[in-house]
A and B are shown apart, each in its own frame.
Chain A
């Protein structure tokens, strides 16, 4: 390459580096704006707003949100496929309703906006990791704004079957930057209680297989080319997810429960903690005949 061209390339590099530095520090961009012009009083109130917001959100407040309206309780149940989440949520809903609490549930891919679109993307598996992560984020926030927040405003108990933690873990194990994923969910509501039903991948494999006589493409992380063997792909993928959960458990004060214990014993622990939160004294419960089959 002639020297002249080399020089030009160098210049271009410099330009790009400069641009990149700007891109790199989103916080710098945010701080540039208000400080110079706003009077001291405005700065104080802005930080107060932020403090109040951090009580309800992981980072940024959601557009158009008023914390004073929240009278309900958000309870999240996390855990891998086969950890018993949905069984526990079904039982908890019956228990809470028998105690006179209104219950709303939420879960992944249940939004009216994009729930069915994600199903289609998954079926075709012709989607890149970032697009999928952002579609899940759209699905999540649609449910927050149209299902979870309205319920919390009316004093309902929301039982969330999975939350941002699963979504963050799935993105991170696929090589998406961790800060990016947490930044994406900065406007997510902070749950009152987050339970983590922890099970070994080997146990989860057995339970999932029993349920549907098969292991799905995505549950086994087949898009990641971890192994040609379905079993090992599942174990490796779920182990990676579990490791991410261990990282998040400390930071987000998860209540970790042994998901391999009996349904009744896990349910009892859940009822105790939720009962404390809601001020329910007696947490005795036996499922109705309709749900008796879940009580193994």
Chain B
């Protein structure tokens, strides 16, 4: 009963904005929402698993929002132009994606976290850390670039052996795109081979972050439903899901 009263109390707008200063680490009490993130190389199975997690939470009626990497219309035209004309260098590739992420962060992720939502993100800043570091960007510069991003409550890292992940992508996608295959790095003239070498570098970068960034490592090779069970258990144990359940209507 006491719990219900708490839920019914309308939240008061704080006198001072709780929005973090861009470029500063987000304070732990800046927002009531929770952020769940999935990371991993292409073909690691993370998107499938996040989709299933989302369905589970949606069916349960929880307040949630789903967001994915590279989805802001704002910088889409620039990214497309840069890729088509191959204008992008490691530095501008990284900056353009950071601009895209900043837009999503300031206009979706932060407001939703402040509005007490559960936010699910398919790929997050760690994708940029892994991919851009694999392209040769200085790690310190990259860390600074994304300093405005709120730290996730859970970061799932789907670790799948290189051969399996690469096979999943190559068998499903007939033609790899230039940047996707890491052709800009000039490691190989063969797209599939270049992709493999690029993914190996990315995997190496991801592995470096397991401890420093508190990744929850999941084995991407076990059956989908078993993996999903693990994921749901971890979410239920780490996040107080009750808080995101449908609000109880006040009795008249």
Binding site for B on A (CB under 8 A): 1-2, 5, 8, 12-13, 15-20, 22-24, 26-27, 29-30, 32-33, 59-64, 112-114, 117, 121, 127-131, 133-135, 137-138, 141-142, 145-146, 175-177, 179-181, 183-184, 186-187
With CB as the reference atom, state the residue of chain B lying closest to A134. Answer: B99
Check B141 against A142 for contact (C-beta < 8 Å): no
Check A33 against B22 for contact (C-beta < 8 Å): no
A176 to B78: give the CA distance in the assembly, Å.
24
Q: Report A78 CB to chain B, min CB distance, Å.
A: 21
Complex partner residue of B103 from A12, A15, A131, CB under 8 angstroms: A131
Complex partner residue of A141 from B28, B91, B212, B240, CB under 8 angstroms: B91
Q: A117-B75, A142-B87, A175-B22 are in contact. Are A23 and B147 (CB under 8 A)?
A: yes
Asked if B218 is at the interface (CB within 8 A of a chain A CB), the reply is no
Check B213 against A20 for contact (C-beta < 8 Å): no
With CB as the reference atom, state the residue of chain A lying closest to B239. Answer: A12
Check B103 against A180 for contact (C-beta < 8 Å): no
Q: Report A5 CB to chain B, min CB distance, Å.
A: 7
- Which residues of chain B have C-beta atoms less than 8 A from A135's C-beta? 75, 78, 99
A45 to B28: give the CA distance in the assembly, Å.
40
Q: Report A25 CB to chain B, min CB distance, Å.
A: 9
- Which residues of chain A have C-beta atoms less than 8 A from B143's C-beta? 23, 26, 29-30
Asked if B197 is at the interface (CB within 8 A of a chain A CB), the reply is no
Q: 1/0 per residue B207-221: CB within 8 Å of A? A: 010001110000000
A176 to B102: give the CA distance in the assembly, Å.
12
Q: 1/0 per residue B73-92: CB within 8 Å of A? A: 01101100110010111111
Q: Report B52 CB to chain A, min CB distance, Å.
A: 25
Check B140 against A20 for contact (C-beta < 8 Å): no
Q: A138-B99, A176-B23 are in contact. Are A29 and B89 (CB under 8 A)?
A: no
Q: A127-B103, A145-B91 are in contact. Are A23 and B145 (CB under 8 A)?
A: no
- Which residues of chain A have C-beta atoms less than 8 A from B98's C-beta? 134
Check A145 against B89 for contact (C-beta < 8 Å): yes
Check B141 against A186 for contact (C-beta < 8 Å): yes
Complex partner residue of A13 from B26, B29, B107, B208, CB under 8 angstroms: B29
Check A29 against B139 for contact (C-beta < 8 Å): yes
Q: 1/0 per residue B1-25: CB within 8 Å of A? A: 0110010000000000000011111
Stretch of B42-50, B130-138, B165-173 contacting A (4+ beta carbons < 8 Å):
B130-138
- Which residues of chain B have C-beta atoms less than 8 A from A138's C-beta? 78, 92, 95-96, 99
Q: Report A187 CB to chain B, min CB distance, Å.
A: 6
Check A180 against B24 for contact (C-beta < 8 Å): yes
- Which residues of chain A have C-beta atoms less than 8 A from B105's C-beta? 130
Asked if B60 is at the interface (CB within 8 A of a chain A CB), the reply is no
- Which residues of chain A have C-beta atoms less than 8 A from B145's C-beta? 183-184
How many residues belonging to B are interface residues under a CB distance threshold of 8 Å?
54
A32 to B22: give the CA distance in the assembly, Å.
26
Check A141 against B22 for contact (C-beta < 8 Å): no
A57 to B57: give the CA distance in the assembly, Å.
49
Q: Report B241 CB to chain A, min CB distance, Å.
A: 12
A20 to B30: give the CA distance in the assembly, Å.
12
Check A187 against B148 for contact (C-beta < 8 Å): no
Known contacts A141-B95, A175-B21; 20 further A-B pairs (Cβ under 8 A): A16-B28, A19-B151, A19-B214, A26-B144, A29-B143, A30-B138, A63-B137, A114-B78, A114-B82, A117-B78, A130-B23, A131-B103, A135-B78, A138-B78, A177-B24, A180-B22, A180-B23, A181-B23, A184-B144, A187-B138
Q: A135-B75, A146-B87 are in contact. Are A60 and B22 (CB under 8 A)?
A: no
Q: A16-B151, A141-B91 are in contact. Are A59 and B141 (CB under 8 A)?
A: yes
- Which residues of chain A have C-beta atoms less than 8 A from B90's C-beta? 63-64
Complex partner residue of A5 from B22, B208, B212, B240, CB under 8 angstroms: B240
A17 to B151: give the CA distance in the assembly, Å.
10
- Which residues of chain B have C-beta atoms less than 8 A from A146's C-beta? 87
Q: List 24 A-B contacts (CB under 8 A).
A: A20-B26, A22-B212, A23-B25, A26-B143, A59-B141, A60-B138, A60-B140, A63-B90, A63-B136, A64-B136, A113-B87, A128-B102, A130-B22, A131-B99, A135-B99, A145-B91, A146-B87, A175-B22, A177-B22, A177-B147, A180-B24, A181-B23, A186-B144, A187-B138
Check B141 against A113 for contact (C-beta < 8 Å): no
A23 to B214: give the CA distance in the assembly, Å.
12
Check A130 against B102 for contact (C-beta < 8 Å): yes
- Which residues of chain B have C-beta atoms less than 8 A from A30's C-beta? 138-140, 143
- Which residues of chain B have C-beta atoms less than 8 A from A64's C-beta? 89-90, 136
With CB as the reference atom, state the residue of chain A lying closest to B81. Answer: A113
With CB as the reference atom, state the residue of chain B lying closest to A178. Answer: B23
A127 to B107: give the CA distance in the assembly, Å.
9
The CB with the most chain B CB atoms within 10 A, among A8, A142, A175, A176, is that of A142
Q: Report A260 CB to chain B, min CB distance, Å.
A: 34
6 A-B pairs with least C-beta separation: A180-B23, A177-B23, A16-B28, A134-B99, A183-B144, A26-B143
